[in-house]
Amino acid sequence: MNKSKIEINESKKPFYGWMIVAVAALTLFFSGPGQTYSVSIFIDHYVETFGWGRTQVSSYYSMATLVAGFTLPVIGRAIDKKGQRWMLVAISFALGMAALWMSFVRTPLMLVVGFFLLRLLGQGSMTLLPNTLVPAWFQRNRGKALSLMALGGVVGSAAIPPLNNFMLVHFGAAIAWRTWTILLLAVMVPVGWTLIRNRPEDKGLKPDGDTDHDLDQNRFRPAKKIRVSSYPWRLEEAVRTRAFWLLLLTMAIPSMINTGITFHIVSIIGEKGFSSAFAASILSIMALSQFPMTFVAGFVVDNVKVHLVKGFNYILYLGVVLAIFLGDSPGLLIVYAVLHGIFMAFDSVSTGVIWPNYFGSTHLGSIRSITMTSMVVGSALGPLPFGMAYDIFGGYNEILILMMAFPILGALASFASPAPEEPEETEEGEIK
């Protein structure tokens, strides 16, 4: 049997990249212990048990998040050097140990250290790893693959808060944190080591499961309007482009606004005359609308220039902020939740696609670690202006009006960020 026939038979097998997507989704789910929606469940416990002030605990959290954000480039360089398989095992184990540390917290210093580890390893590293892994396995179906991967984070944001609350109420904080230790060590560590392969070439495959026969016959040719860089951009080359810095801005803006609104959502909804239970239902509706729209976003970014998708999504985001500003009825607040869920679906998928499409996957760990730093710093800064506005003005209207300027800024930055031209090498191998 000749080589082409062997490749055709191999192409009939399920592409292993979809297994990679499943493990990547699981990784996003297990980033949960370090995400704000998870940690927030324990804040009242620390305030009431140890007598620490709410502002004190919040400042610890913001400080730890900032330091974690600026530490992420170290993780990114390690991913490029060691590969995702080894790093996923190491990070999962370390996050499990961080959860164990949190079960013994008794002093403010222990809480700060615990917050730092959770944010660095959970929110930062466990989000960075799958976003550098999946793009190496997919080019033509990158949007679809990343949209399926994103479902792990959606499920985590919906399931983990009530799970944490159940464990906290019935068993206490120590048992809740140790449960996450057991789950990370028993599930994520062995799954990562057993199933992860860094690149399709490690299994004798090509991205998207294509074969030489497919490429020779020009099958599965990507849409001409979608540009996917094959040049191995290095970080020092990427930072010389305008698109890199404008896209960093588009990472920080939703992280800042989303975290600010979510952190204060009970208070914001309460100011409008609704209960905390209704505020929780708003978050649930947001997740429910995000779930199906994630699939739509995957299809769109595979067929439309991704910076245009981000630009129009930011126009929608202006409507999101306007809706919660004007929302004085249950119906309008539900509209806010649905629109916000749609925005988050498109923002998550388009962000996952745009960086490998623009800068390739060879050094994606180093590049994405800088973008994650921008995101984490944005999330650290988000709650503060909302809290200050409430203390100064007695409400949130003024800060929400101010926040409306940022989606406009994000839209302009996105529209002005087409794919950069690849560097040209001289005969001596230097980059022009």
Domain co-membership, 173 together with 267? no
Within a domain: 272 = yes
The pTM of the full predicted model, rounded to 2 decimals, is 0.77
At which of 177, 201, 225 does a domain end? 201
pLDDT bucket at 22, cuts 50 / 70 / 90: very high
Instruction: Measure the CA angle with vertex 24, ends 22 and 25; round to 5°.
Output: 65
Domain co-membership, 171 together with 250? no
For residue 425, what is the DSSP state? Answer: B
Cα–Cα distance list, 400 to 281, 286, 408 (Å) = 21, 19, 14
Within a domain: 421 = no
Dihedral of the alpha carbons of 152, 313, 388, 284, in degrees to the nearest 10: -40
Domain co-membership, 256 together with 137? no
Domain co-membership, 167 together with 260? no
pLDDT bucket at 226, cuts 50 / 70 / 90: low
Q: Record the tokens describing residue 181, joined without a space.
A: 């230790």
Domain co-membership, 30 together with 156? yes
Cα 135 to Cα 173: distance, rounded to the nearest angstrom? 37
Place of tokens 């005359």: 273
Domain co-membership, 340 together with 390? yes
Phi and psi dihedrals of 404, rounded to 5?
Answer: -65, -20
Region 169-190: mean pLDDT is 95
pLDDT bucket at 428, cuts 50 / 70 / 90: very low
Within a domain: 302 = yes
pLDDT at 426: 44
Tell me the sheet residues that pair with 431: 425
Q: Record the tokens describing residue 112, joined without a space.
A: 């700060």
For residue 122, what is the DSSP state? Answer: I
Domain co-membership, 181 together with 291? no
Amino acid identity of 367? I
Tell me the sheet residues that pair with 425: 431
Within a domain: 222 = no
pLDDT bucket at 213, cuts 50 / 70 / 90: low
Instruction: Residue 150: give its domain's CATH number.
Output: 1.20.1250.20
Domain co-membership, 53 together with 197? yes
Instruction: Measure the CA angle with vertex 364, ends 38 and 417; round to 5°.
Output: 95
Angle between helices 330-359 and 126-137 (to 10 degrees): 60
Length of the chain: 432
Cα 135 to Cα 129: distance, rounded to the nearest angstrom? 11
Region 207-228: mean pLDDT is 59
Place of tokens 């799970």: 163
Burial tier of 195 (Cβ tally within 10 Å: 0-12, 13-18, 19+)? middle
Phi and psi dihedrals of 431, rounded to 5?
Answer: -90, 130
Domain co-membership, 189 together with 256? no
Within a domain: 119 = yes
Burial tier of 188 (Cβ tally within 10 Å: 0-12, 13-18, 19+)? buried
Within a domain: 424 = no
Residue 263 lies in domain: 235-415
* Total Cβ atoms within 10 A of residue 94: 16
pLDDT in tens, 293-327: 988 988 898 888 999 999 999 999 999 999 999 98
Cα 235 to Cα 429: distance, rounded to the nearest angstrom? 17
For residue 211, what is the DSSP state? Answer: -
Domain co-membership, 30 together with 177? yes
Cα 91 to Cα 124: distance, rounded to the nearest angstrom? 10
pLDDT in tens, 47-58: 788 888 767 777
Within a domain: 8 = no
Instruction: Measure the CA angle with vertex 312, ends 308 and 315; round to 5°.
Output: 150
Cα 110 to Cα 238: distance, rounded to the nearest angstrom? 38
pLDDT bucket at 336, cuts 50 / 70 / 90: very high
Region 354-377: mean pLDDT is 85
Domain co-membership, 193 together with 256? no
Q: Which of 174, 158, 176 is nearest to 166 (CA)?
A: 176
pLDDT in tens, 131-161: 889 988 988 888 889 889 988 988 888 788 8
Give the count of domains, the chain: 2
Within a domain: 6 = no
Phi and psi dihedrals of 428, rounded to 5?
Answer: -85, 0
Domain co-membership, 194 together with 273? no
DSSP output for 16-36 = THHHHHHHHHHHHHTTGGGSH
pLDDT in tens, 239-284: 999 999 999 999 999 989 988 887 777 778 888 888 767 777 787 7
pLDDT at 402: 95
At which of 182, 201, 220 does a domain end? 201
